[in-house]
Chains A and B, each alone.
Chain A
Amino acid sequence: MHPGGLVAAGTPRQRKWPSKRRTPVSQPGMADPHQLFDDTSSTQSQGYGAQRGPSGLGYPAASASPQAAFLADPVSNMAMAYGSSLAAQGKELVDKNIDRFIPVTKLKYYFAVDTMYVGKKLGLLFFPYLHQDWEVQYQQDTPVAPRFDINAPDLYIPAMAFITYILVAGLALGTQDRFSPDLLGLQASSALAWLTLEVLAILLSLYLVTVNTDLTTIDLVAFLGYKYVGMIGGVLMGLLFGKIGYYLVLGWCCVSIFVFMIRTLRLKILADAAAEGIPVRGARNQLRMYLTMAVAAAQPLLMYWLTFHLVR
């Protein structure tokens, strides 16, 4: 390890990253997990090697261990091997069980984004009027990853926008001297509750109207999460330019989200013929059109409802 670690313990630079600079006599609780596996001194190795195994899930215990004397000791070697096998078993168990509740592989698809996609998608959210082709491209029955197709829904933008909305709400409350930490939690909880309610309402109405669509729940969460981008824009403008700025930007974002949702959902909910623009008469398609318009109209309402109390 760094030889100056002992001597330079007093400098503030060393104190900032204690886990990398300190010698093995430091408290194990303060080091980062990687350090937990490497930093076992010879006196404590037998006890800690097996205990840290199951607690440090996923970290290979046999990563670079600088002390040669530690490795040469056969008992601690066995303990480390036992610990690492326990860790691997634990990791397998967790992976197997978590896949039952949260579809991790399906979620990974929604986070396969890159900077170009995010930039273009944000541009599309603020200005969807010139975009012509709204179809999602398919590749042998599976939708293409969002990285390659701008029309594909993703969860990265909604998740980031949600968190940014909470932070911007805290900022807005702070500038009006109304801030307290539990208000942040309240804002987050409130926005999440509205999102859940929206998802449930749309799922219920999709069930009642018997729409055969490939719109999954996660897709729906992604589409409904896009309105947070407009909300952030509105609140930020409201902070900078007062109520006039807030109403202008919010109005613009509301109309954009309305158009965006209609054009996106039309392809998913309506039958193929109607989606191409041919107005198909029939009670069924009319009902579906009403449903699409209701979903799209609920977005501006919620955008206003969740932000108007933040801008004074």
Chain B
Amino acid sequence: MAFTLYSLLQAALLCVNAIAVLHEERFLKNIGWGTDQGIGGFGEEPGIKSQLMNLIRSVRTVMRVPLIIVNSIAIVLLLLFG
């Protein structure tokens, strides 16, 4: 199976793009995954759902600017080299 490191990088870039595209107001709130809906009290165990919501929010915040750069590079490289 031709599963190389490069295809892993491409898949990772696409996945991070997919997470970054989820809109807070139009989509996440409507399915109950908004960031102000999930954070419970200082209980012991944040469940899986709140961990996921935290993860989505942090990815969207942290990766916004690097994603612009990496996407531009990827677009230029794909245009030039196919």
A210 to B51, CA, bound (A): 8
A207 to B47, CA, bound (A): 11
Q: Are B2 and A186 in contact (CB under 8 A)?
A: yes
In angstroms, how far is the closest chain A Cβ from the Cβ of B43? Answer: 11
Does B79 sit at the interface, judged by CB under 8 A?
Answer: no
Who on chain A is nearest to B54 by CB? A207
In angstroms, how far is the closest chain B Cβ from the Cβ of A66? Answer: 48
Q: Are A284 and B51 in contact (CB under 8 A)?
A: no
How many residue pairs link A and B with beta carbons under 8 A? The number is 32
Q: Which residues of A contact B4 (CB under 8 A)?
A: 186, 189-190, 193
Does B32 sit at the interface, judged by CB under 8 A?
Answer: no
Q: Are A197 and B51 in contact (CB under 8 A)?
A: no
Contact with B along A275-312 (1 / 0, CB 8 A): 00000000010000000000000000000010001000
A267 to B64, CA, bound (A): 38
Contact partner, A194, options B2, B3, B6, B46, Cβ 8 Å: B3
**B-side interface residues, number (CB < 8 Å):** 14
Does A55 sit at the interface, judged by CB under 8 A?
Answer: no
Does B5 sit at the interface, judged by CB under 8 A?
Answer: yes
Q: Are B48 and A209 in contact (CB under 8 A)?
A: yes
Contact with A along B1-17 (1 / 0, CB 8 A): 11111111000000000
Q: Which residues of A contact B6 (CB under 8 A)?
A: 189
Contact partner, B5, options A189, A209, A284, A309, Cβ 8 Å: A189
In angstroms, how far is the closest chain B Cβ from the Cβ of A92? Answer: 31
Does B55 sit at the interface, judged by CB under 8 A?
Answer: yes
Contact partner, B51, options A194, A208, A305, A309, Cβ 8 Å: A208
Who on chain A is nearest to B7 by CB? A193
Q: Which of A186, A196, A208, A309 has the most CB of B within 10 A?
A: A208
Q: Report if A190-B1 is in contact (Cβ < 8 Å); known contacts: A210-B46, A284-B45.
A: yes
Cβ < 8 Å to A, chain B residues 25-82: 45-46, 48, 51-52, 55
**A-side interface residues, number (CB < 8 Å):** 15
Contact with B along A209-238 (1 / 0, CB 8 A): 110000000000000000000000000000
In angstroms, how far is the closest chain A Cβ from the Cβ of B7? Answer: 7
Q: Which of B1, B3, B45, B52 has the most CB of A within 10 A?
A: B3
A31 to B19, CA, bound (A): 54
Q: Are B3 and A207 in contact (CB under 8 A)?
A: no
Does A192 sit at the interface, judged by CB under 8 A?
Answer: yes
Q: Report if A208-B48 is in contact (Cβ < 8 Å); known contacts: A190-B2, A190-B4.
A: yes
Q: Which residues of A contact B7 (CB under 8 A)?
A: 193
Q: Which residues of A contact B8 (CB under 8 A)?
A: 193, 196-197
Q: Which residues of B contact A209 (CB under 8 A)?
A: 48
Cβ < 8 Å to B, chain A residues 235-266: none
Q: Which of B2, B5, B7, B46 has the most CB of A within 10 A?
A: B5
Who on chain A is nearest to B9 by CB? A193
Q: Which residues of B contact A194 (CB under 8 A)?
A: 3
A194 to B7, CA, bound (A): 11
A residues adjacent to B (C-beta < 8 A) = 186, 189-190, 192-194, 196-197, 207-210, 284, 305, 309
The 10 A-B pairs at the shortest CB distance, nearest first, are namely: A189-B4, A193-B8, A190-B3, A208-B51, A193-B5, A189-B5, A208-B48, A193-B3, A192-B5, A193-B4
- 20 A-B pairs within 8 Å (CB atoms) are namely A186-B2, A190-B1, A190-B2, A190-B3, A192-B5, A193-B5, A193-B7, A193-B8, A194-B3, A196-B5, A196-B8, A197-B8, A207-B55, A208-B52, A209-B48, A210-B45, A210-B46, A210-B51, A305-B1, A309-B1
